[in-house]
């Protein structure tokens, strides 16, 4: 079942590539993306949230000589990221209906290839397999920014590619080193995450050059760049500003979460002692990122760049939650990963909609939008409330749990992080005031090109996101219960190196050559 979910977008990409009728191309791509979303809901319907074990395992040898396997699985930590990835693609395709006018076929092919890469990152349980999908995600995003991006798109793509590649190469070196260690300990080389968990790497507190610490930072650097953690964040604002709206949405909503997911699935459990000992570094840079991102966002003249720096600030909270090493912090981090995808994705969509009308993102050129675009104003305000974590919206739940978990671990860091909540409200509300109230700006009072409010298509794009903003804010347990057992198990066993294999086989789902096991920490 997971294989079908993973590779169906590639099949769709091939069909779109050879499709001859350009008039129906967008409809075809939208239909395919909805099929993929339904497939993910099918997996969700059979997922068992009462066990921390990895489910729906699909495993068979790929390169046996080096112990590399085709190895997929899903659990309470990855389930919502998979659903977020499949949910956003039809939203993005519908949002780009009129904004992408050139090379439409190539654009949709890139979207489907990117979806496979992101899903593979969240589902892969083999080190080399994970690395392949991790790197594959760079290629379609590179073309998405480079072909359909803004004036400085080449600069943004090269910077994006170089930053992420540097960290990825170090991670590959660490994966190969771990594979060699499995051969020393078991006599058989393996790239399986399960075998990596069983390794007992030497660790000496305070000694940076012990194997466990070096390998931990090799992984952590790759993930920190992707998040992005301060000071590795400089590629993000350029990529967001130059990317087309669909690229910005996917980048903020899903691709940044690949980094935080990497910490939870790979770096922390493989190197638990190093992760816990050096956690203070990541909590400090997380707190610095929260304040720095908010301050820099406050002075941005470009509304899209403002939202980009807000992502740096918000992802700092996720780092705090992960490295608080308690249930409240980790639950909040997972919830905030989902929240950020919804709220920031909505904001980028809304910015793209106004950009289509005015071809400008300069805040100073707006003003008085509320009187001209009332429906647009309502949707923007709801997304803004979610972003600044107002109670009854999804953002409040995630940030509250993160701050609660951080307070239990480090009161000083928690106090600094609380200031980020205040600064976040300041820069977002100030931006909203300048764009939507006061005297009409030059782009708003132009009688020769009157602004039109949201179309029916644009409302359809935004309504699902607004529903999720309030649903997740009012009924968080509907979402958190699916990860609760996995989070508890993760925290209770954070200092163990191995996973245990249940001897009972699970349903093989007609996958030839597959070895199926229930796997738990």
- pLDDT of the residue at 127: 95
- pLDDT of the residue at 186: 85
Length of the chain: 521
Contact 345, 252 (CB under 8 A): yes
Residue 502 pLDDT class (50, 70, 90 cuts): very low
Give the whole-angstrom CA distance, residue 367 versus residue 372.
Answer: 10
Contact 179, 192 (CB under 8 A): no
Give the whole-angstrom CA distance, residue 119 versus residue 172.
Answer: 19
Dihedral of alpha carbons 104, 110, 116, 121, sign: negative
- pLDDT of the residue at 447: 67
Give the whole-angstrom CA distance, residue 399 versus residue 75.
Answer: 23
Percentage of the chain beyond pLDDT 70 is: 94
pLDDT of residue 287 exceeding 80, the answer is yes
- Phi/psi of residue 300, each to 5°? -80, 130
Local structure of residue 302 (DSSP, 8 states): B
Cis? peptide before 249, omega within 30° of 0: no
Average pLDDT in the 170-185 region?
A: 94
- What tens digit of pLDDT does each residue of 200-236 get? 888 888 888 899 999 999 999 999 999 999 999 999 9
Q: 188 burial class (0-12, 13-18, 19+ CB within 10 angstroms)?
A: exposed
Which DSSP helix (H) or strand (E) runs through 165?
helix 153-186
Residue 167 pLDDT class (50, 70, 90 cuts): confident
Q: Specify the higher pLDDT residue, 445 or 347.
A: 347
pLDDT of residue 498 exceeding 60, the answer is no
What residue has token string 């190895």? 71
Q: CA 103 from chain center: how many Å?
A: 26
Pairing of strands 55-63, 68-74: antiparallel
Q: What average pLDDT does the structure give for the chain?
A: 91
Average pLDDT in the 11-22 region?
A: 92
- pLDDT of the residue at 78: 95
Specify the pTM.
0.93
Contact 432, 380 (CB under 8 A): yes
CB atoms within 10 A of CB 139: 14
- pLDDT of the residue at 18: 94
**In the chain, where are the structural domains located?**
278-495
């Amino acid at each position: 079942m997971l294989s079908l979910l993973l590779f169906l977008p590639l099949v769709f990409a091939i069909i779109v590539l050879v499709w001859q009728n350009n008039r129906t191309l967008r409809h075809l791509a939208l239909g395919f993306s909805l099929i993929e979303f339904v497939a993910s809901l099918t997996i969700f319907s059979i997922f068992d949230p009462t066990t921390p074990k990895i489910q729906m395992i699909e495993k068979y040898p790929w390169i046996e000589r080096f112990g590399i396997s085709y190895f997929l699985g899903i659990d309470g930590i990855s389930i919502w990221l998979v659903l977020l990835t499949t949910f956003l693609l039809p939203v993005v395709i519908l949002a780009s209906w009129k904004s992408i006018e050139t090379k439409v076929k190539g654009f949709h092919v890139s979207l489907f290839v990117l979806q496979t890469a992101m899903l593979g990152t969240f589902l892969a349980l083999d080190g080399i397999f994970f690395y392949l999908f991790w790197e594959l995600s760079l290629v379609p995003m590179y073309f998405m920014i480079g072909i359909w991006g803004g004036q400085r798109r080449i600069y943004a793509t090269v910077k994006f590619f170089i930053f992420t590649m540097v960290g990825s190469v170090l991670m590959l070196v660490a994966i190969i080193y771990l594979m060699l260690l499995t051969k020393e300990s078991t006599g058989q080389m393996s790239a399986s995450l399960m075998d990596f968990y069983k390794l007992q790497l030497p660790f000496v507190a305070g000694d940076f050059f012990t194997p466990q610490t070096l390998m931990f930072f090799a992984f952590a650097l790759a993930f920190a760049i992707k998040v992005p953690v301060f000071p590795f964040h400089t590629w993000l604002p350029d990529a967001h500003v130059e990317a087309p709206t669909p690229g910005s949405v996917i980048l903020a909503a899903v691709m940044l979460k690949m980094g935080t997911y990497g910490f939870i699935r790979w770096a922390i459990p493989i190197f638990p002692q190093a992760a816990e000992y050096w956690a203070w570094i990541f909590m400090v840079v997380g707190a610095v990122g929260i304040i720095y991102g908010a301050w820099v966002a406050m002075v941005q003249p470009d509304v899209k760049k403002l939202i980009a720096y807000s992502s740096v600030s918000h992802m700092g909270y996720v780092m705090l939650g992960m490295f608080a090493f308690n249930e409240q912090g980790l639950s909040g981090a997972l919830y905030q990963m989902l929240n950020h995808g919804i709220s920031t994705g909505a904001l980028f969509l809304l910015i793209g909609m106004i950009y289509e009308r005015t071809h400008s993102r300069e805040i100073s050129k707006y003003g008085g939008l509320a009187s001209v675009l009332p429906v647009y104003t309502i949707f923007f305000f709801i997304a803004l409330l979610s972003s600044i974590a107002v109670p009854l919206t999804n953002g409040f739940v995630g940030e509250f749990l993160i701050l609660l978990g951080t307070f239990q671990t480090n009161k000083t860091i928690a106090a600094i992080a609380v200031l980020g909540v205040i600064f976040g409200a300041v820069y977002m509300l100030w931006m909203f005031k300048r764009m939507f109230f006061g005297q009409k700006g030059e782009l708003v009072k132009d009688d020769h090109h009157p602004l039109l409010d949201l179309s029916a298509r644009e409302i359809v794009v935004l309504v699902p996101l607004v529903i999720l903003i309030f649903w997740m804010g009012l009924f968080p347990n509907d979402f958190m219960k699916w990860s609760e057992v996995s989070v508890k198990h993760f925290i209770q066993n954070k200092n163990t190196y191995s996973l245990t294999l249940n001897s009972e086989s699970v349903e093989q789902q007609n996958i030839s050559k597959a070895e199926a096991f229930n796997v738990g920490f």
